[in-house]
Amino acid sequence: MYGKQSYLHLGENIDVDKYIITEFYVESDKSILEVAEALAAESSIGTWTDLSTMDADIMTRLGARIFYANEEEHIVKIAYPLGLFEAENIPQLLSDVAGNVFGMNEIINLRVRDIIFPKAYLRTFDGPAFGISGIRKLLGIPERPLLGTIIKPKVGLDADRHASVAFDAWVGGVQVVKDDENLSNQSFNPFEERVVKTLAMLRKAEDITGEKKMYVPNISAQASDMLKRAEFVKAQGGIAVMMDILTVGFAGVQYIRDQNTGLVLHGHRAMHGAFTHSTKHGIAMLPIAKTARICGIDQLHTGTIIGKMHGGEEEVSAINNAMRCEWGNLKKTMPIASGGVHPGLLQKMIELIGNDVIINLGGGIHGHPDGTKSGAIAASQAVDASIAKIDLNEYAKDHKELQRAIDKWGVYKDESLLVPKNNSLITYTYGLTEGLM
Ligand code: RUB
C-alpha cells in the first residue's frame, strides 16, 4: 500500500508551461483543505481511499497539485500536470477538471471559475479557421461593428417566408442573418429547402446592395447529420454554419472543425445558463468560451451587458477579452452580442463592447413598427450614429426608421444596468499565474 496520498503543495511555484490550472469556488461542511484534497484526487488520479495500486511515480508524474487554498474566499487553485491529458481531447479535459467533482458528497457548491491552458496544450488544437480578421475579410468590413439578425418568430416560418424575411434584413443593412437555436430540420421548414431558398435571397441581396452577406444556418444535430448539413451548405455556396455548442457538445464541435469545411463556425451557447447562472455552482462562461475558441469557434455568443440575457459588464468584458487577445497560435474569436437588443441600445452597447463584435437583433429588427427592412435600416442608422458619435435622439430627427424604433423601445439610459449582475464572480488575474489565459 502506497501510504496516505496528499495533493497539497500550498505556495509551490507552479511552472505554467507544464500544468493546466483550474480555479474553483468551493463550499463544503469540511475544511477547505480536506475538500481540496478530495477534489484534487477525484479530478486526477485518486479516489476516496488509499490504493494498493498507487505508487510514488504515478503520484509525482500525474497527481494534481493544490497550490492555493483560501477558506474565507472559498477559492482553491489546482494545477494538473499536462501528462494527465490527451492532446486535442476536450471531453477528456472536462471529465477531469469539471467531471465527477460536481457529484461528490462533500460538495455543497462548486464552480469552475477559470481554466488556464499552457501553450503546449493549445498547440494541439487548430482553433478558429477564420477568426475576427477572416470574418471581416469575407464581409469586406475592416472596422465597423457588424450587424446581424435572428429570424423571428424563433421557429414557425416556412422556408419561403424565412428566406424573404432574411432578404428584407439584408437589404435593410445587416450583414449576418442566422437561424435561431431551436430551428434545425423540422417539417414546417426543412433544412435543405431553407438553405437553398435563403442563399438565393442572399445572392439577390448582394446584387442589390453590392455588399457581401452571410447566412448562418443552424446545423445542430447528431454529428453525422451535422456534417451532411455543413457539406450541403458548402455545396450551395454558403460561407457559415451555426452549432449550439453546449447541446451539441464539444466533441461535436471538434468533429465539424476537424473536417476543415472552409465554413465560418458560429457558436450559440443555448443551455449555458444551466452552468453559468449561479454565482456559486456550475461552470463560468469564461472557461466555456475559452474552450469554444480552442475548439475552433469563429464567432461566439458572449452577452450584451445591457440586453435581455444574464451577464454583467465585468463578466462579458472578461470573456470578450479572452476571445480577442493574442493566445498562442489561435486566431481570435469574434464576440456576438445578442438577446433583447434594439436600436436604442446600440450606441451604449458599442461603447461598452467595442467594434469587434457582431450585434444581433431579433425582436429589435422584426418587431419594428414598419417591418423587418425598416428595422434593419434603423439598426444600421444607430451604428452610423455611434460611429459618428452623434447622440441617437439627435440622429433620429432626420432618420425616420430610427425614430420609429426609438418611439417604440426608447434609448438606453439606465446606468443601473451597468452594475455587474450577480453572476460575475470571475477572476481573471491570478496570484501565481497573473496575466495568463
Ligand atoms: C435573440 C435570441 C438569442 C439569444 C441568446 O433574440 O433569442 O438566441 O441571443 O442569448 P432577440 P445569448 O434579439 O429577439 O432577443 O446570445 O446571450 O446566448
The string of pLDDT tens digits covering residues 151-178 is 999 999 999 999 999 999 999 999 999 9
- Please indicate whether residue 397 is annotated as part of the active site: no
Nearest ligand 1 atom to alpha carbon 310: 17
Q: Which of 61-65, 233-237, 313-317 has the lowest mean pLDDT?
A: 313-317
What is the distance in A from the centroid of ligand 1 to the CA of 16? Answer: 37
Look at residue 434 and tell me whether its pLDDT is greater than 80.
Answer: no
Nearest ligand 1 atom to alpha carbon 336: 16
When comparing pLDDT for 310 and 282, which is higher?
282
375 lines ligand 1 (CB under 6 A): no
User: If you take atom 3 of ligand 1, which residue's CA is the nearest one?
Assistant: 339
Q: What is the pLDDT of residue 191?
A: 98
Given a contact cutoff of 8 angstroms between Cβ atoms, the answer to whether 249 and 272 are in contact is no
Q: What is the pLDDT of residue 311?
A: 79
Task: Give the predicted TM-score (pTM) of the model.
Answer: 0.95
Look at residue 223 and tell me whether its pLDDT is greater than 70.
Answer: yes
Cβ density class 222-239: b for 16+ within 10 Å, e for less:
eeeebbebbebbeeeebb
Q: What is the pLDDT of residue 404?
A: 98
Look at residue 310 and tell me whether its pLDDT is greater than 90.
Answer: no
Nearest partner of 97 among 114, 109, 83, judged by Cα: 114
| Distance in angstroms (rounded) separating the CA atoms of residues 20 and 122 | 10
| Distance in angstroms (rounded) separating the CA atoms of residues 284 and 115 | 10
Cβ density class 352-382: b for 16+ within 10 Å, e for less:
bbeebbbbbbbbbbbbbeeebbbbbbbbbbb
Over residues 22-40, the mean pLDDT reads 96
Given a contact cutoff of 8 angstroms between Cβ atoms, the answer to whether 273 and 315 are in contact is no
| Distance in angstroms (rounded) separating the CA atoms of residues 399 and 75 | 52
Q: What is the pLDDT of residue 2?
A: 59
Q: Which of 162-176, 193-207, 353-367, 416-430 has the lowest mean pLDDT?
A: 416-430
Question: Quick check: helix, strand or coil at residue 318?
Answer: helix
273 lines ligand 1 (CB under 6 A): no
368 lines ligand 1 (CB under 6 A): no
Look at residue 355 and tell me whether its pLDDT is greater than 80.
Answer: yes
String of DSSP letters for 147-171: EEEE-SSSS---HHHHHHHHHHHHH
| Sheet with 358-360: strands ordered across | 214-216, 176-178, 146-150, 358-360, 334-338, 299-301, 264-268, 240-244
- Please indicate whether residue 152 is annotated as part of the active site: yes
| Distance in angstroms (rounded) separating the CA atoms of residues 213 and 138 | 9
For ligand 1, mutation pick of 309, 320, 333, 421 (most atoms within 8 Å of CB): 309
Q: Which three cell numbers stand for residue 436?
A: 495568463
Residue 433 pLDDT grade (very low, low, confident, very high; cuts 50, 70, 90): very low
181 lines ligand 1 (CB under 6 A): yes
What is the distance in A from the centroid of ligand 1 to the CA of 248? Answer: 18
150 lines ligand 1 (CB under 6 A): yes
What is the distance in A from the centroid of ligand 1 to the CA of 384? Answer: 23
179 lines ligand 1 (CB under 6 A): no
Nearest ligand 1 atom to alpha carbon 367: 14
What is the distance in A from the centroid of ligand 1 to the CA of 87? Answer: 33
Q: Which amino acid is at 116?
A: I
What is the distance in A from the centroid of ligand 1 to the CA of 77? Answer: 33
319 lines ligand 1 (CB under 6 A): no
Q: Which three cell numbers stand for residue 101?
A: 467533482
Domains delineated in the chain: 19-124 (3.30.70.150), 131-411 (3.20.20.110)
Look at residue 348 and tell me whether its pLDDT is greater than 60.
Answer: yes
Q: What is the pLDDT of residue 432?
A: 38
Distances (CA, A) of 432 to 21, 84, 96, 218, 305: 11, 21, 22, 41, 30
What is the distance in A from the centroid of ligand 1 to the CA of 235? Answer: 28
Q: Which of 77, 152, 178, 331 is catalytic?
A: 152
Which tens digits make up the pLDDT trace of 86-115? 999 999 999 999 999 999 999 999 999 999
What is the distance in A from the centroid of ligand 1 to the CA of 153? Answer: 12
Look at residue 3 and tell me whether its pLDDT is greater than 90.
Answer: no
Look at residue 308 and tell me whether its pLDDT is greater than 80.
Answer: no
For ligand 1, mutation pick of 275, 341, 360, 423 (most atoms within 8 Å of CB): 360
The number of CA neighbours under 13 Å toward the Cβ of 185 is 11
Look at residue 427 and tell me whether its pLDDT is greater than 50.
Answer: no
Q: What is the pLDDT of residue 430?
A: 38
Q: Compute the mean pLDDT over every residue in the chain, rounded to the nearest whole number.
A: 93
Residue 309 pLDDT grade (very low, low, confident, very high; cuts 50, 70, 90): confident
Distances (CA, A) of 328 to 54, 80, 130, 290: 35, 19, 15, 12
97 lines ligand 1 (CB under 6 A): no
Given a contact cutoff of 8 angstroms between Cβ atoms, the answer to whether 64 and 7 are in contact is yes
**Proportion of the chain above pLDDT 90, given as a percent:** 89
Nearest ligand 1 atom to alpha carbon 307: 15
Q: Which of 178, 213, 266, 268 is catalytic?
A: 268
Helix, strand, coil abundance in the chain, percent, nearest 5: 40, 15, 45
- E-state strands within 13-135: 19-27, 65-70, 75-81, 109-116
Over residues 183-196, the mean pLDDT reads 98
364 lines ligand 1 (CB under 6 A): yes
Nearest partner of 297 among 248, 255, 257, judged by Cα: 257
